[in-house]
Each structure stands twice: as C-alpha cells, then as structure tokens.
C-alpha cells in the first residue's frame, strides 16, 4: 500500500486528489495539509511514502517544504504539483529533492502512475513539463550556488549514461542507444547515485546540466 500525503492550499484540489487516490486499491491517503509548515508536520506524523506537494503555498512554499520533507526519517518522496507547465519555481524544487512533477490538470491515470513511479524510487521525467523546464532553467544555477562538480571520478560509460539520463531517456532507451543490456544500465545508474550520494534520477538530471555535461538544446 502506497501512503500518500496531499499538500495544497486549495481545499477543492486537496479533496479532489484525495477522492481520486483514495479510490485506487493500492493507495491510501494518510493526511492533508494546507500550507508548507503543516505539510512538514503531517509528513513527520503520518510517515507517507509520497507527498503530493503544491509549489506555491502560504507560510512556507513547496520548495523549502520539499527540502525539509525529504530529510525526514523514512525518506519520503515528493511529487510536485503545479498549475503552469513552465513554473519558474519547479526548477528549485528539483534541486531541493523533488522526484517528479505533474500538472494539476493531469488525467487521473497519469496521477496514479506518477505516484507509483516516485514511490518505487524512480523519478518522473517523462512528461513534457520536465523537458521544457530543462530547456528553460537547468542551465542557470541560482546565484551563489557552488561551483559545478567535475565528473573526473566517473568512468567513460558512466558519463555516457549520465548524459542520456540528463536527456530524459529511460533505462530501456539508454540500453538501445549504447547497445547494452537494460540490467547493465540499471547498474550504471545505481553506481552514479552512489558515487554522488544522490537520491534519484531527478538529481542526476540536475548534475548532468550543472556540471556542463549537457546544455539546453544540446
């Protein structure tokens, strides 16, 4: 059973999401929150597997709430919800540890798929919103951010895999590009996460762009 917490300042949206997910056999809505601070407290109290987090909320925005939630015991995953397909704040949420992004207008089937995807430890990188965010924002680190890390500790094959992860390809697609077994790609991805102490593929995408390995449009 996937335990889900819903954080959104709009009551109708919270209740609507709760009704949709509550009707799915393998999911249980364990709590709701109307602002970022409440989201953190509810996440601490209910220990969800996935938090559906609105980007813009009162008291504490979804970005800072995400940063604090992913640090809680149990390693909850955060799936960001946004109204806009080019929300400037979603980039910072990705850097804060969000594992995926969905538009609030997404069909219920895609909502359920998104929750399952991040619950299993993967990242939701397929929707058009993510590709457009990469093009628009990932080449622009926030002012004062650390010098982008170099990739000297990676093998040539790991670098190839990182480049393709950054382009949004799945393990199966990467395997086809590099003429490797999908299990081998999974091993390379796991090694990349371990070497850089990252949570999931979303953070690998950030690494690929911020290190200079990829450039938007490249």
pLDDT tens digits for 176-187? 888 888 889 889
Report the predicted TM-score, pTM, of the whole model to 2 decimal places: 0.70
Give the pLDDT of residue 92.
76
Angstrom distance (rounded) from CA 154 to CA 33? 41
Angstrom distance (rounded) from CA 85 to CA 74? 30
- C-alpha dihedral (117, 120, 122, 125), degrees to nearest 10: 10
3-class SS of residue 207: helix
Q: What is the percentage of the chain residues whose pLDDT exceeds 70?
A: 82
CB 53 within 8 A of CB 98: yes
Listed in order, the ranges of the chain carrying CATH 1.10.10.10 are: 156-210
- Of 25-39, 87-101, 105-119, 183-197, which range is least confident? 87-101
Q: Which of 38, 43, 41, 50 is nearest to 9 (CA)?
A: 38
Mean pLDDT, the chain, whole residue set? 82
CATH number, span 156-210: 1.10.10.10
3-class SS of residue 54: strand
CB 81 within 8 A of CB 102: yes
**pLDDT tens, residue by residue, 76-88:** 999 988 876 555 6
Listed in order, the ranges of the chain carrying CATH 3.40.50.2300 are: 2-137
Q: Is the pLDDT of residue 69 over 90?
A: yes
**pLDDT tens, residue by residue, 123-181:** 766 445 555 555 655 555 544 444 345 677 888 888 889 888 888 788 888 888 888 88
- Of 7-16, 186-195, 198-207, which range is least confident? 198-207
Does domain 2-137 fall under CATH 3.40.50.2300? My reply is: yes
């Amino acid at each position: 059973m996937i335990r889900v917490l819903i954080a959104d300042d709009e009551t109708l949206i919270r209740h609507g999401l709760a009704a949709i997910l509550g009707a799915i056999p393998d999911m249980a809505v364990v709590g709701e929150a109307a602002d970022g601070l409440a989201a953190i407290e509810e996440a601490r109290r209910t220990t969800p597997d996935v938090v559906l987090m609105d980007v813009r909320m009162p008291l504490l925005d979804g970005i800072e709430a995400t940063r604090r939630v992913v640090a809680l015991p149990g390693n909850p995953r955060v799936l960001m919800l946004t109204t806009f397909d080019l929300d400037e704040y979603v980039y910072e949420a990705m850097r804060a540890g969000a594992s995926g992004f969905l538009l609030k207008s997404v069909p219920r089937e895609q909502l359920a798929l998104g929750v399952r995807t991040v619950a299993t430890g993967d990242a939701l990188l397929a929707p058009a919103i993510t590709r457009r965010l990469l093009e628009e924002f990932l080449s622009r680190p926030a002012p004062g951010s650390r010098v982008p890390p170099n990739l000297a500790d990676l093998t040539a094959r790991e670098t190839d895999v990182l480049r393709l992860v950054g382009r949004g390809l799945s393990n199966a697609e990467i395997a086809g590009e590099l003429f490797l077994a999908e299990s081998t790609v999974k091993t390379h991805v796991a090694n990349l996460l371990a070497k850089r102490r990252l949570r999931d593929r979303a953070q690998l995408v950030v690494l690929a762009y911020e290190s200079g390995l990829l450039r938007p449009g490249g």
